[in-house]
Structure 1
Amino acid sequence: MQESAASPAAAAMARVWLHRLTPLSPFALIAVIALVEAVTPDWLRLGPVLAAASVLAAAICGLGVTAAVAATTMGVNALLDLFDGRWGSSASQIINIALLAVGLASLLACSIRQRRERELTQVRSVAETAQRTLIRPLPARLDSVLLEGTYIAAESEARIGGDFYEVLHTPHGVRLLIGDVRGKGSAHRNIRRLYGEEFTERFATALLVEIPEGPVARLVHCGHPHPLAIRDGDVHGWEAPEPGPPIGLAELVEGGPSVQTVPFRGGDRLLLFTDGVIEARDGAGRFYPLPERMARWSEDPLDQLVDQVRADLRRHAGGDLDDDAALLAIERLPL
């Protein structure tokens, strides 16, 4: 866990330094262009290239820095013209007018970007509030069951998604629900193929788990990926012999979901997840090997196990996922 804790700290420090150095990059570009201009032949004019610094500033800096960069480009170009004896020529005036026009356009572009960033921040705030309503923090324990869950949005801009989970203590035992609205992964593709596009917007995959007092668990599959069971370091899946259809599509098939009873004794664990976990791909297009990874951390405390999977999943996907991902881990205490 020391390596896991050090990595976020190093990444945070790198982001701080990057934030500090970002406003300097347009001025560094101006310095490089001016230096190259000073040592090149007179017939090779690099003054117009100074406009690139204003464009760069508009993309990554604020209005004040962008204005300063635009003014600096014009000042540096004037000094270069004086140095080379070109000041006052028609070519020099045209370049200065072009730098002024690019500078003004860069200020406008920067203003638009900042306004959209503020709007996006407001949308994120609203979305985060909605997401916390859908996926609230789980209690660490209910009855004889330990709980740990996590949710990862598909992209940094997407703070709300279709994945959800919930845990309740009922007279029948602890009940857990995990699901994915409209099933964006393999279930979504299969239903489009079998029943047509109109039905792909009207369903949710789900998995319901009931943990009664005895050493068993009861599973109800509704088109959702089957859970992984962990016992004494061994990882295997509990596939449903007769999985039911996704919620909202029962009228398209005969029959309904059946209840599957599986062993679940003290010390056993179950890992519930959405398809965003197992369908995350790396740069080579390979799916995330969840059972293989689980075997590595099967003996870790439950919270560390979930943290390991979350961090490893992001590394596998290169930082951002293409689909939302939810993970819910449970462990039964000794009976």
Structure 2
Amino acid sequence: MILIPLVLIVVISAVDMLAPPEVHLGPLLVAAPAITASFAGPRTTLAVGAAAVVAQGFVAAVRTTIVDLNHSVQIAALVLISLLVAFFARLRERHERQLRQLRSVAEATQAVVQRPLPARMGPLRIASVYLAAEAEAQIGGDLYAAVRTRHGSRFLVGDVRGKGLEAIGEASLALGAFRTAAYRQVDLPRLIAHLEKAVFGDPDGPDPPEIGADSSDSVDAESFITAVVLDIPDAEPVIHLVDCGHPPPLLLRDGRVVPLESRQPAPPLGLMGLGPAEAQVESFAFREGDLVLLYTDGVIEARNSSGNFYPLTERLGFGPSDDPRALLRSLCQDLLAHAGGSLGDDAAMVAIRRETAGASDG
């Protein structure tokens, strides 16, 4: 990259010396330090600026004299601009260093809060993936967790509104509350109520207000979590599900994709005071060989260059259904290709497949 401004200095100087007396190309030399400041530090920018000043002085000596008024003004302007762009190069370098530190802290925090899911839980084979948005060096609020109980497995996938430390704080509270309460064998409505209180209220406090109550003091409409909670028993071919304003899971069976849409979805966590007093549990068949995909809205809201959303339901039908890891790998590649290589929002996916009887762990 450093060759570009140096070659520019040589070319401009050579053409300037060969140009007619009334033509002056010296002012174009300011492009050399300006270009350098876009990719290099202040010292390199000053070095290129000094090279441009020396070249301008050489051109002045060849054409007239270095103390000529026109060339003296050009040299003074070139020195001033070189100092100015070197100052901005220093600011850019410091800003990039801060962004690298922020991204490093964000990645470390995300790794601590968002634990990887096990590959197997009872008769279930599991795969998960978290795709961080590259547009910002902020921590996203997407979350997922799995807990093994005596009778089956429980899963949580959610999305906190917003980004940054506040979002990761609420995600951490939700994950901790889920991992704690899921072990207690409480039913899903009580589990949802516990998550609501743990994140947005006092866990030992009163229940959320009922419909029609004045909840303006207890409900913050600016902060909420969309979530879906699944309970998959080992001995029954069924999924018990509570959807709290989250995109519905997708069931892949025999090449067909079926959304598991709740007839009575609950409000997002944090807005429970505005909806039903108790979340309603929906049940769906989940037989051997079936695969269910949980995801956040960062997947279905990814746009291509034409502004079209990612067609997850269509693409899922073409992916492999016998291996959750292969399915997520295929979906990630297709999603990034659709979005042009980078996502505008974090995206998380969890694939769960009920293995056939006698299947090995693999």
Q: Shared topology, TM-score over 0.5?
A: yes
Q: Which residue of 1 aligns with 2:133?
A: 154
In the alignment of these two chains, the number of paired residues is 303
SS of the equivalent of 2:2 reads: helix
Q: Which residue of 2 aligns with 1:311?
A: 333
Q: Which residue of 2 aligns with 1:5?
A: none
Q: Which has the higher helix share?
A: 1
The C-alpha deviation readout for 1:166-205, integer Å capped at 9, x for no partner, is 1111123111100011279xxxxxxxxxx99x94422100
Q: Hey, what's the Cα distance between the residues in 2 that align with 1:88 and 1:235?
A: 80
Q: Hey, what's the Cα distance between the residues in 1 that align with 2:241 and 2:126?
A: 17
Q: Which residue of 2 aligns with 1:206?
A: 227
RMSD: 2.2
Q: Hey, what's the Cα distance between the residues in 1 that align with 2:17 and 2:289?
A: 73
Q: TM-score, normalised by structure 1?
A: 0.84
Match for residue 84 of structure 1 among 49, 63, 67: 63
Tell me, yes or no, if the aligned pair for 1:183 and 1:203 is still in contact at 8 Å.
no
SS of the equivalent of 2:37 reads: helix
Alpha carbons of 1:171 and 1:101: their partners in 2 closer, same or farther (altered >3 Å)?
Answer: same
1:287 correspondence with 2:309: yes
1:143 correspondence with 2:122: yes
Q: Which residue of 1 aligns with 2:80?
A: 101
Q: Hey, what's the Cα distance between the residues in 1 that align with 2:318 and 2:125?
A: 20
Match for residue 270 of structure 1 among 286, 292, 297: 292
Q: Which residue of 1 aligns with 2:267?
A: 245
The C-alpha deviation readout for 1:284-322, integer Å capped at 9, x for no partner, is 111100111112213463222212222222222223322
Letter in 2 for 1:57: T
Alpha carbons of 1:25 and 1:312: their partners in 2 closer, same or farther (altered >3 Å)?
Answer: farther
SS of the equivalent of 1:329 reads: strand
Letter in 2 for 1:234: R
Alpha carbons of 1:135 and 1:28: their partners in 2 closer, same or farther (altered >3 Å)?
Answer: farther
Q: Hey, what's the Cα distance between the residues in 1 that align with 2:18 and 2:326?
A: 58
Tell me, yes or no, if the aligned pair for 2:102 and 2:137 is still in contact at 8 Å.
no
Q: Which residue of 2 aligns with 1:254?
A: 276
Q: Which moved more, 1:90-99 or 1:58-67?
A: 58-67
SS of the equivalent of 1:157 reads: coil
Q: Hey, what's the Cα distance between the residues in 2 that align with 1:183 and 1:108?
A: 34
Q: Hey, what's the Cα distance between the residues in 1 that align with 2:7 and 2:284?
A: 65
Q: Which residue of 2 aligns with 1:322?
A: 344
Alpha carbons of 1:143 and 1:62: their partners in 2 closer, same or farther (altered >3 Å)?
Answer: same
Letter in 2 for 1:204: I
The C-alpha deviation readout for 1:235-255, integer Å capped at 9, x for no partner, is 221111111111111111234
Q: Hey, what's the Cα distance between the residues in 1 that align with 2:276 and 2:331?
A: 37
Alpha carbons of 1:125 and 1:103: their partners in 2 closer, same or farther (altered >3 Å)?
Answer: same
Q: Which residue of 1 aligns with 2:144?
A: 165
Shift of 1:102: 1.2
Shift of 1:104: 1.1
Unaligned stretches of 5+ in structure 2?
164-214, 358-362
Structure 1 segments (4+ residues) deviating >4 Å = none
Letter in 1 for 2:269: I
SS of the equivalent of 1:101 reads: helix
Q: Which residue of 1 aligns with 2:173?
A: none
Look at both structures and tell me which one has the larger radius of gyration over its CA atoms: 2
Q: TM-score, normalised by structure 2?
A: 0.78
SS of the equivalent of 1:236 reads: strand
Alpha carbons of 1:305 and 1:42: their partners in 2 closer, same or farther (altered >3 Å)?
Answer: farther
Q: Hey, what's the Cα distance between the residues in 2 that align with 1:52 and 1:85?
A: 23
Q: Hey, what's the Cα distance between the residues in 2 that align with 1:295 and 1:94?
A: 69
Letter in 1 for 2:110: Q
Tell me, yes or no, if the aligned pair for 1:182 and 1:200 is still in contact at 8 Å.
no
Tell me, yes or no, if the aligned pair for 1:278 and 1:288 is still in contact at 8 Å.
yes
Tell me, yes or no, if the aligned pair for 2:135 and 2:343 is still in contact at 8 Å.
no
Alpha carbons of 1:125 and 1:24: their partners in 2 closer, same or farther (altered >3 Å)?
Answer: same
Match for residue 113 of structure 1 among 87, 92, 102: 92
Alpha carbons of 1:268 and 1:300: their partners in 2 closer, same or farther (altered >3 Å)?
Answer: closer
The C-alpha deviation readout for 1:94-144, integer Å capped at 9, x for no partner, is 111111111111221122221222222221121112111232222211222
Q: Hey, what's the Cα distance between the residues in 1 that align with 2:23 and 2:70?
A: 13
Unaligned stretches of 5+ in structure 1?
1-21, 185-194
Q: Which residue of 2 aligns with 1:13?
A: none
Q: Hey, what's the Cα distance between the residues in 1 that align with 2:304 and 2:243?
A: 28
Shift of 1:37: 3.1
Q: Hey, what's the Cα distance between the residues in 2 that align with 1:260 and 1:58?
A: 59
Q: Which residue of 2 aligns with 1:10?
A: none
SS of the equivalent of 1:110 reads: helix
SS of the equivalent of 2:317 reads: helix
